[in-house]
Amino acid sequence: MTVAIIGIGLIGGSLAITLKENGFAGHIIGIDASQENLDKAIRRRLIDEDLPLEEGVKKADLIILATPVDAMLTLLPQVLDLVEDQVVIDVGSTKAELLNTVDQHPRRSRYVATHPMAGTEFSGPEAAIPNLFDHKCAVLIDADCSAPEAVKLVRKMYESIPMTIVELDREAHDLHSAYVSHISHISSFALALTVLEKERDEGRIFELASGGFSSTVRLAKSSPNMWIPIFRQNRDHVLDVLDEHINQLARFRSLLIKKDFDTFYQLIAQANDIKRILR
Ligand code: NAP
């Protein structure tokens, strides 16, 4: 099978390694806005060749969109204009706006919306790694709008990795992604800014950063090029969960002011309940 990947960065590049290694893809074509990224992808052997969009799409059996989500809004209709019986997927972190854009497209059924729930804080082809997706979850969104054999191929692709598959509709996907993933990034960006503001001695940050600080602030290393389009598209759900997060921070602040450490203790014990869900 020939697979074309548009956007050969962390997610596109990691999929390229995985699908080549496990034999799902025999030939991988890279398509990217940046020739520098394509050259790096060739040097790292993530892709077999790079081609312009139209040529790459025509030559592929499966086309994977892996650019930031704002670029997908123009790329997906363009790609659907070019396909006949090929299958197109995206791996973007938000779905409602993208799916609304192509609802009426004559080739809509050739497209399957997906979101592999795996990543790191790094970007670009140099960040691509094998095993990124192993045993993680892949979400198929509004799969009943896609041709059954297209969904079957996409299931086969994710199962080859192997990933577990769940199905959601576009609203539920964006809501739950805001509640779990998007808020974690805002929280980490805010923590990094807090520490950079209060602790002006960078040497001290480095010396005193224990495992706790490093792991909590890890997501703050993520690229604004990828995250701003996500916050723009999922603004309402993110605002909803951000309000709750600010309320929780305000509760801790108020308890500290009142020196009410009994209630503080209870809140931490309640927070520990997350251990039941995530070991
Ligand atoms: P990334 O490492 O920055 O890769 C994106 C690639 O797309 C870059 O090579 C970028 O080139 C290229 N690109 C940008 N605009 C383009 C365009 N118009 N046409 C062709 N190529 C273009 O980003 P990523 O982390 O792999 O994220 C890719 C997608 O996966 C996003 O939609 C994101 O929401 C989704 N996702 C990310 C994660 C995660 O944890 N990172 C997890 C799951 C899903 P430049 O570098 O020159 O801009």
Q: Are residues 121 and 250 in the same domain?
A: no
Each residue's pLDDT tens digit, 6-63: 999 999 999 999 999 999 999 999 999 999 999 999 999 999 999 999 999 999 999 9
**Residues spanned by the domain of 39:** 2-168
CA angle 174, 225, 221 (to 5 degrees): 90
**Of 24, 13, 162, the residue nearest 87 (C-alpha):** 24
Q: Is 265 helix (H, G, I), strand (E, B) or coil?
A: helix
Does residue 149 register a pLDDT over 80? yes
Two tokens, residue 274: 């997350």
For residue 128, report the distance from its CA to the centre of ligand 1, in Å.
11
pLDDT at position 82 is: 98
Q: How confident is the model at residue 108 (pLDDT cuts 50, 70, 90)?
A: very high
Ligand 1 neighbour 16 (Cβ under 6 A)? no
- Could you tell me if residue 134 is left (phi over 0), alpha (psi between -120 and 50 degrees) or otherwise beta? beta
Integer-rounded Cα radius of gyration of the chain: 21
pTM, entire model: 0.96
Does residue 238 register a pLDDT over 80? yes
Ligand 1 neighbour 34 (Cβ under 6 A)? yes
Task: Give the total number of structural domains in the chain.
Answer: 2
Does residue 210 register a pLDDT over 90? no
Last residue of a domain, one of 147, 168, 189: 168
Ligand 1 pocket test target in 50, 182, 226 with most atoms within 8 Å of CB: 226
CA distance 32 to 222: 20
pLDDT at position 168 is: 98
Last residue of a domain, one of 111, 135, 168: 168
Q: Are residues 133 and 182 in the same domain?
A: no
Instruction: Give 57's Cβ-side CA count (13 Å radius).
Output: 21
Last residue of a domain, one of 168, 195, 219: 168
**Of 76, 82, 81, 90, the residue nearest 56 (C-alpha):** 82
Q: Are residues 183 and 225 in the same domain?
A: yes
Report CA 75 to chain centroid distance, whole Å: 17
Q: Are residues 10 and 143 in the same domain?
A: yes
Ligand 1 atom with least separation from CA of 117: 43
Strand-pairing partners, residue 4, are 29, 63
